[in-house]
Structure formats: C-alpha cells, structure tokens
Structure 1
Amino acid sequence: MQRITEITKLHREMIVRWHTKPIENHYTGFLGLVCQQLTYNFQLWHEEDIARSKDVPDSTIAQVKRAIDRYNQQRNDYIEKLDDWITDRLEQLQVTPAPNATQNTETAGSSIDRLAILALRIYHLQEQAERTDATPEHRASVAGKLGIAVMQQQDLSRSAQELIDDIFAGRKKHKTYRQMKMYNDPTLNPYLYKAAG
C-alpha cells in the first residue's frame, strides 16, 4: 500500500502537468487507480468553472452539465475502485479486523478523493495568488485561503495515513460503500424512466 505522501505527490505533479499537456496516466496498480480518479476530479473542476460563466449559450451549459454528471459518476466509481483494491489487498495479506476494531465514517478511497480536490484547490489558489492583474487585496485574501487549504491538506493527509495504517494493522474495519447514484440511472431516475415510457 502506497504512503499518502506518494499519493499527494502524484496529485500535485499531475495537476501541474495536465494544465499544459494532455491528460495521461502512466501509473499502474493502486497509483494507477489514484491517477485515474484524479483525472475525473480534474475534468470536473474545469467543467464547473465553465458552468458558472454568464457569457456562454444555454446549449453549452446543458452540455457542460451533462459532462459534470458524467465526470462526477466516474469520480465516485473510482472511489469505490480504490476501496475495492484495498479490500482485495487485505484479503491477500489475510488481514482481518480485531474484534474491537472500529469503523470510520469515511473510507480510505473517500479520503483520497478529498485530497485530490484539495490539491486542485491549492493549485488554483496559488494561480490566483500570483496574478499580476489582481489587486493587492485580492492576492492577500487568496493567500489567507491558500494557507488554510494547505493546513487542511496536511491534516487530512495525516488522518488518511493513520486510517490506512489502522486498517492494515486490523485496528479499523474497512469496506467499500457503494455510491448508488440514482440520477444517472435511467431505471431509478423517475424523470428518465417516465420520459422513456
């Protein structure tokens, strides 16, 4: 199992790279899943920016909304894949939770997802802090937000590592929680199945 520091390094380096080069994933194994999950967060972040624009036609906003739904579904699917990988690895290592093992409200996969979003936030706040066309007040405000985001990343990284260590030591229970997004399923979204009928 990779250390969280490896995961946050991957997040940071890929986000920088993908802002100037095509999105690619050359990783394998667990880090390959981490990188793929990040691609959906990366694309989702930028579609969300477009969705807030006032100078694009409604038809573009509709396309963007569909892209947001698709990337969000894929993002959640890959949270599950991260947790499934951990489940499989625990079985391979024959790790079983101790009788008194407790369970977190958040899975390791969800923590990695949150770290991906924080990495994107930090990158874009840094970008704002370095704007030469912005006022000193804007840059100062952004610097404050950036400091908070970095602190949150450090806190979450530490907690995620503790969770993973506890899971592999049998001190915490682990399971994959299925997202079961209903709005993308034509058999579960009433608007979709009634429209098709």
Structure 2
Amino acid sequence: MISKLCNKIFQDAINDYHVHNNIDQPISNPYRISSLEHLLYMKCWIDTVQWHMEDVVRNPGIDPVEGLQWKRRIDASNQERTDVVEYIDSYFLEEYKNISPKAEARINSESPAWVIDRLSILALKVYHMTEETQRSDASEEHIRNCTYKLNILLNQRTDLSGSLDELIADIENGTKYMKVYKQMKMYNDPNLNPILYNTK
C-alpha cells in the first residue's frame, strides 16, 4: 500500500534530520533519483527543515532583520515544497497514463500528491507531539493534554492513509482519474507580483 511506504519514508526522513537537528544540515537522500521513494524522502525533509524554521521565526525576541531573512527562507522553502508535490503528481500521471477511466469515473477533489503532502505534515506533528508527551520538565496536565492530541493525530493519520490507498486503488481500476492543476503561485514571480514588477 502506498500509504505504508509514505509513512515509513517520512518517519525515516524525520529521524535522519533529528540526528543532527540542524536546519542547514545537507540532505542525504538514500533513494535513487527520479524514484517515488526519492521524491517522498525529499518532500518530508523539506517539510522537516521548514517546521524548524517556523519555530525559529516565532521567537518573540528575534531581531526584525533576522526575522525577515527567515521569512524569505520559509517562502523559498514553500516554493520548493510545492514543486516537489507537483513532481510527485507527475510521477503518478506517468504511472497511470495507460489506464482508461470508466465512463462514470470521477475526479477527486485532491490529487494523490496533495494527500501525501498532508501525510508528511502529519508525520511531523506526530513526532513532535510525541516529544511533548515525554518531556520530563512538563506538568502532568501538559503531558495529559498532549497525549490526548497525539491520539487524535494518530487516528487522523490512519484515516488519511486509508483515504490515500483508496484513491490510488480507484485510479488504478478506473473509477477515478487524475487531473492536476499547477499551483501557479504568484507572490514569488517577479512578473506576477505587483510589488516586484513595480520596483524593477
């Protein structure tokens, strides 16, 4: 099942990142370039790095200049994340290009890669909420509240994993078909963001 592969690779990527726990630690992707596994590992690594950048930028005492630098890094990371999601969808489009949808086939509201994107973020939430349940310096109430939230996240991951597997099965048997829309983000494009093209 595709969800089992995703969740395993996401856990591996998160664990690998936390060996050094350093935002600038270079990625060491163990999978063959252009393989689905390579894309999944890259996707979760980007998410993991960005998770920690988001923590840093929320420091209320951060110098505004430094904060702006982090915000720009986060913007660049968001664009990279979107690009990798679209690469994953391209992989699935190629994988299922020879499947003829049935006459009654329907499109899904979300493409496989965007479901996978949500699974990657969920893996990070599970990892860090688990950490919160294991803090020796936290109150019993904090541990109890975080344990409650962790169980919800785990249940959510189970449900989302099942939905992803069903979607892939539906595409494979022709009852659903893929139609991918590029995100067409405008704020990073100097030709589409008026603040950028009016300051040329």
TM superposition score normalised by structure 1:
0.95
Cα contact 1:83–1:175 (8 A) shared by 2: no
Whether the 8 Å CA contact 2:101–2:177 is kept in 1: the answer is yes
Aligned equivalents of 1:44, 1:59: Cα separation in 2 = 19
Q: What residue is the counterpart of 1:13 in the other structure?
A: 12
2:133 aligned with 1:129: yes
User: Which 4+ runs in 1 deviate beyond 4 A?
Assistant: none
Counterparts of 1:104 and 1:3, CA distance in 2: 17
Q: Displacement of 1:4 after TM fit? A: 1.3
> Which of 168, 174, 180 pairs up with 1:176?
180
TM-score by length of 2: 0.93
Q: Which residue of 2 aligns with 1:31?
A: 37
Q: Deviations over 1:150-186 (max 9, x none)?
A: 0000000000010011111111010222001100101
1:77 has 2:76 as partner: no
Q: Deviations over 1:109-149 (max 9, x none)?
A: 00000000000000000111111011111111100110000
Aligned to 2:118: 114
Match for residue 58 of structure 1 among 64, 77, 81: 64
Partners in 2 of 1:177 and 1:79 — Cα distance?
Answer: 11
Corresponding letter in the other structure for 1:38: C
In the TM superposition, residue 3 of structure 1 has moved relative to its aligned partner by 2.0
The answer for unaligned runs of 5 or more in structure 1 is: none
1:163 maps onto 2:167 in alignment:
yes
Residues 17 and 45, structure 2, Cα contact 8 Å, conserved in 1: no
Corresponding residue to 1:90 among 87, 96, 99: 96
Q: Secondary structure at the match of 2:130?
A: helix
Q: What is the root-mean-square deviation of aligned Cα atoms in Å?
A: 1.1
Q: How many residues align?
A: 193
Alpha-carbon distance in structure 2 between the residues aligned to 1:43 and 1:70: 12
User: Do structure 1's residue 44 and structure 2's residue 43 form an aligned pair?
Assistant: no
Query: Residue type matched to 1:10 in 2?
Result: I
Separation (CA, whole Å) in 2 of partners of 1:17 and 1:116? 14
